[in-house]
Chains A and B, each alone.
Chain A
Amino acid sequence: MSETKIKPYEKPENIINPNSEFSIEVQNLRKIFRGKKGYDDVIAVDDVSFKVKSGELFGFLGPNGAGKTTVINMLIGLLKPTSGIAIVNGYDIHDGLSHIKELIGVCPQEPSVFKFLTGIENIELFGKLHSMKKAEIKDKTNKLFEILDLSKASRRKTKGYSGGMLRQLNMIIALIHDPKIAFLDEPTVGMDPRARRATWKFIGSLKTKSKTIFLTTHYIEEAEALCDRVAVIDYGKIIEIGAPQDLIKKYEVENLEGVFLKITGRRIMEGV
């Protein structure tokens, strides 16, 4: 799908501030995919605005196809927005991508690892792409592999890894260089409950390291257990934003699923 230009991009003035208290600032962000012949255009992200504070664990909660990944892809430079403004750590995504890439770690939804390399070799490669020294990579790799219980498989080619192991390695690669901001796109999909709990614990531990974490998920428990604040997204629009407990209180429901149900009349997991 290709994009339709709605209006020419206008560079924001006096908005770029590397010392901002916000790690991510998004204003009226839109992404429209032009439909191929005979098909309608698809508005994947529709006028989305939000801010993520530095050190915050911010969740993007919504059903599949809600636009969560499209927002992430725009913030990390893989997609150009049709219109709107996005600032990551003070840098505009339109012309500050090289700076942004030095600061972020990205864990894509589908595990993307080199199958002919071992777990350690994959991490070494990405560590070096982030200008890390070999000794530093080795030290951090050992720690992360231990935390996520992958040490035994570290020297095996990833071709033989299970789905859950691949997802954990996928996340280690995203975090090996100690990024200031981590984008975790549905990091626990397909993991067994044990691995999922271990991963939640690990993501939770990142909060103490003052990292900003942008997490997308369609798991209610995940969002409730981990996130300081969540934006609930549906059909490309943010329909609610706030701390999980505040939203639950506001709508007088039991959990975030109830919040979603009350606003949209549907369940998040419908169609997942």
Chain B
Amino acid sequence: MNTQRILALMKMELYKILREPAYLFLMILFPAVLTITFGFAFGDPELGMSFNLMAPGLFAYACIFIIMTVAQSFADFREQGLLRRLNTTPMSSTDFMFSNILSNMIISTLQVVIVFVLALLFGFRSNSDIVGILLAFLLMALFSLSSVGLGLITASVSKSAGTATGLSFIFILPQMFFGTFIPITDTTRPIAMFLPSYYATDALTSIFSGASLTSANILIDFAFISIVSIVIVIIGILLFKKSGNK
């Protein structure tokens, strides 16, 4: 790995998100708009559905959309011949993947900060201390890894950026409905248990409710997200390496 190359590629990735309106909306504005909407709709405890219960799901929900942006972006780069061109430079595929993962982790952290600040404004209160909050941020960064991996898998099987956008919903919708802010029932739990977002939301709920950070529940969730994210990223990288030059 070459630090100069990784930093140059990260800069390019971050510019893409900041300068392309569609990416900027999905990555930065969308989580903010969503939190504000939910804050107005459910922020009042008299409605019976506490915003405090929904907030952890909102954090995870924001990170899920990384799947779409990664899939779109990689498919778009491939369509424009940019991946082939990058492949003619001394850059290694590890440099490229690592820079992408790091820049997406930065974005996911930014998303979580935005959602967290807005949630606080709408009355969300965490019972956790600063260590717990930092752990929540780390958890989201790890969770975003699985989203990058799923994005790469989507890009590998998509022939165009448009197809990638559509196909990404295969991974987005189940995680959205069965693992984030919609309460899990006994019927939906068996499905949710196969989704990383369920464990991310579960761990966040425990952290924000003030549970011990070394409790079995949090540790298991952490372990599950870490293992699943790494496995998904590896699968994504392998699949993408095969299709990247096409």
Contacts and interface: CB of A to CB of B under 8 A. Distances in A.
Contacts, number: 62
Contact of B86 (A98, A102, A115, A129): A129
A92 B245 CA distance: 20
Contacts of A101: 88-90
Given A77-B88, A121-B15, A129-B89, A112 B80 contact: yes
Instruction: Using C-beta atoms within 8 Å of the partner chain, give the interface range for chain A.
Output: 20 to 34
Interface in B97-120: none
Interface string B44-81: 00000000000000000000000000000000000011
A180 to B, nearest CB: 13
Given A78-B245, A128-B4, A117 B12 contact: yes
Nearest to A111: B81
Given A108-B84, A124-B8, A125-B8, A116 B90 contact: no
Q: Is the interface of B mostly helix, strand, loop or mixed?
A: helix
B17 to A, nearest CB: 9
Given A129-B5, A131-B4, 5 more contacts: A102-B90, A112-B82, A114-B12, A121-B15, A129-B89
B188 interface: no
28 contacts: A77-B87, A78-B245, A101-B88, A101-B90, A102-B90, A104-B88, A106-B85, A108-B81, A108-B84, A108-B85, A110-B81, A112-B80, A112-B82, A113-B82, A116-B16, A121-B12, A125-B9, A125-B12, A126-B89, A128-B4, A128-B5, A128-B8, A129-B86, A129-B89, A130-B90, A131-B2, A131-B5, A173-B85
Interface of B: 2, 4-5, 7-9, 11-12, 15-16, 19-20, 80-82, 84-91, 245
Contacts of B12: 114, 117, 121, 125
B107 to A, nearest CB: 15
A7 B7 CA distance: 42
A62 B117 CA distance: 62
A94 interface: no
B15 to A, nearest CB: 6
Contacts of A114: 12, 16, 82
Interface of A: 76-78, 98, 101-102, 104, 106, 108, 110, 112-117, 121, 124-126, 128-131, 157, 173
Given A129-B5, A129-B90, A129-B91, A157 B19 contact: yes
A241 B186 CA distance: 76
Given A129-B8, A131-B2, A116 B15 contact: yes
A220 B85 CA distance: 27
Contacts of A116: 15-16, 19-20
A126 B88 CA distance: 10
A117 B85 CA distance: 16
Nearest to B92: A98
Contacts of B16: 114, 116
B88 A76 contact: yes
Contacts of B80: 112, 115
Nearest to B82: A112
Contacts of A128: 4-5, 7-8
